[in-house]
């Protein structure tokens, strides 16, 4: 059992979007796009939860539902025991300084007309209007130093910085309010490999220093393995496997997780040549018309007729569980 405090408890979370029919008839009912379809997961104080899966599996929608950028259709998002989905706007606003987000494209997430000093200071001005200009500037400079930016760059604009530096600015903006949790939505996917390592190591250092909890979304399983305490694997809006990082990487249980793991490069050239990559056949089904039963069955190499009739649930120990009918 985890002896740390539970800060986030997501229960049966669903995010469905109503898509208008292409039919010319005005009375045609809209179809539901099931971006997230019943996710259950917990996050503890000081923990990093890695979220992986191919494009279109619902990772970013899951993250945006937690922070409130998209509205949950069903389920509960319990933050320190309070359900974020039932909060009024005023209540929700008070929790926003505790939950911050780092976005995928570092440059696009920054206002090009604002100096980086103003970008980092904006959350302070919103939540702490009583602070003087001197106090705000001092806090901004302190945060810039903490993320590896020189304070004398405070009056420069985003286009004057590299991608890695822009991501550091985004991290500084997220940390300036001293949040308890940061959602990292593929924060290193747009960066060079060497810069990726710098940003990931910076996040780990800041986490240890400030006691942050992280939700880290990425495609690169090597990065996820390096930074995460637990990993959640998503497919077509569903959680197919979740567990502690060491246990999941050492013994993946779900066929989808095994296919993802087989695509991870091995540093040893000999082992890389000898390994067998498990290729998935077919395309990702549409979330507007997901398969019956197990959502992975149309691409699963070991699927049976039973998989089309029964939807599996996560089963196994707390340290490692998977949703597959063929797992004992």
Write down the pLDDT at residue 62. 96
Label residue 24 by pLDDT band (50, 70, 90): low
Which of 108-122, 157-171, 276-290, 299-313 has the weakest average pLDDT? 276-290
Write the class of the CATH domain 6-19+30-98+179-322: alpha beta
Residue-averaged pLDDT of the chain:
90
Write down the pLDDT at residue 90. 80
**pTM metric for this prediction:** 0.90
Question: How many Å apart are CA 66 and CA 77, to the nearest integer?
Answer: 7
Assign 3-class secondary structure to 40-52.
EEEEECCCEEEEE
Q: Are 323 and 241 in contact (CB under 8 A)?
A: yes
Helices (H), the chain: 59-67, 89-96, 116-127, 133-146, 163-175, 193-210, 221-227, 245-250, 255-262, 269-274
Which of 30-34, 90-94, 122-126, 252-256 has the weakest average pLDDT? 90-94
Residue 35 pLDDT more than 60?
Answer: yes
pLDDT digit string, tens, across residues 224-259? 999 999 999 999 999 999 999 999 999 999 999 999
**Is 18 or 48 the better-scoring residue by pLDDT?**
48
Q: Are 13 and 77 in contact (CB under 8 A)?
A: yes
CA of 104: how far to CAs of 49, 157, 189, 222, in Å? 17, 19, 7, 17
Residue 151 pLDDT more than 70?
Answer: yes
**Is 1 or 280 the better-scoring residue by pLDDT?**
280
Average pLDDT over residues 284-313: 91
The residues spanned by each domain of the chain are 6-19+30-98+179-322, 117-178
Residue 1 pLDDT more than 60?
Answer: no
Residue 110 pLDDT more than 70?
Answer: yes
Average pLDDT over residues 209-229: 92
Residue 216 pLDDT more than 90?
Answer: yes
Residue 274 pLDDT more than 90?
Answer: no
Which of 28-42, 59-73, 235-249, 260-274 has the weakest average pLDDT? 260-274
Write down the pLDDT at residue 326. 87
Write down the pLDDT at residue 175. 93
Write down the pLDDT at residue 2. 62
Write down the pLDDT at residue 21. 67
pLDDT digit string, tens, across residues 280-294? 888 888 898 899 999
């Amino acid at each position: 059992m985890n002896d740390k405090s539970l800060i986030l408890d997501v229960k049966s979370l669903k995010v469905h979007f109503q898509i208008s029919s292409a039919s010319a008839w005005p009375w045609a009912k809209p179809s539901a796009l099931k971006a997230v379809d019943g996710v259950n997961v917990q996050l503890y104080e000081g923990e990093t939860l890695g979220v992986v899966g191919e494009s279109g599996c619902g990772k970013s929608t899951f993250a945006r539902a937690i922070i409130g950028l998209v509205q949950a259709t069903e389920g509960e998002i319990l933050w320190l025991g309070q359900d974020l989905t039932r909060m009024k706007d005023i209540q929700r606003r008070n929790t926003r300084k505790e939950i911050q987000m780092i976005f995928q494209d570092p440059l696009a997430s920054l206002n090009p007309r604002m100096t980086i000093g103003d970008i980092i200071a904006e959350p302070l001005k919103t939540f702490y209007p009583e602070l003087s200009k001197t106090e705000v500037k001092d806090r901004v400079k302190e945060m810039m130093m903490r993320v590896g930016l020189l304070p004398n760059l405070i009056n420069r604009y985003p286009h004057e910085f590299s991608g890695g530096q822009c991501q550091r600015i985004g991290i500084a903006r997220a940390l300036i309010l001293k949040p308890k949790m940061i959602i990292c939505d593929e924060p290193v996917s747009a960066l060079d490999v060497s810069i990726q390592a710098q940003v990931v190591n910076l996040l780990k250092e800041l986490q240890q220093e400030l006691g942050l909890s992280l939700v880290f979304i990425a495609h690169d399983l090597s990065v996820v393995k390096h930074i995460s305490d637990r990993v959640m694997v998503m497919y077509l809006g569903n959680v197919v496997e979740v567990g502690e990082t060491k246990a999941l990487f050492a013994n993946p249980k779900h066929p989808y997780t095994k296919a993802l793991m087989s695509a991870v490069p091995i540093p040893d050239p000999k082992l890389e040549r000898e390994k067998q990559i498990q290729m998935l056949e077919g395309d990702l089904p549409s979330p507007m018309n997901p398969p019956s039963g197990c959502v992975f069955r149309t691409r699963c190499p070991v699927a049976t007729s039973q998989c089309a009739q029964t939807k599996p649930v996560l089963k196994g120990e707390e340290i490692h569980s998977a949703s597959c009918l063929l797992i004992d």
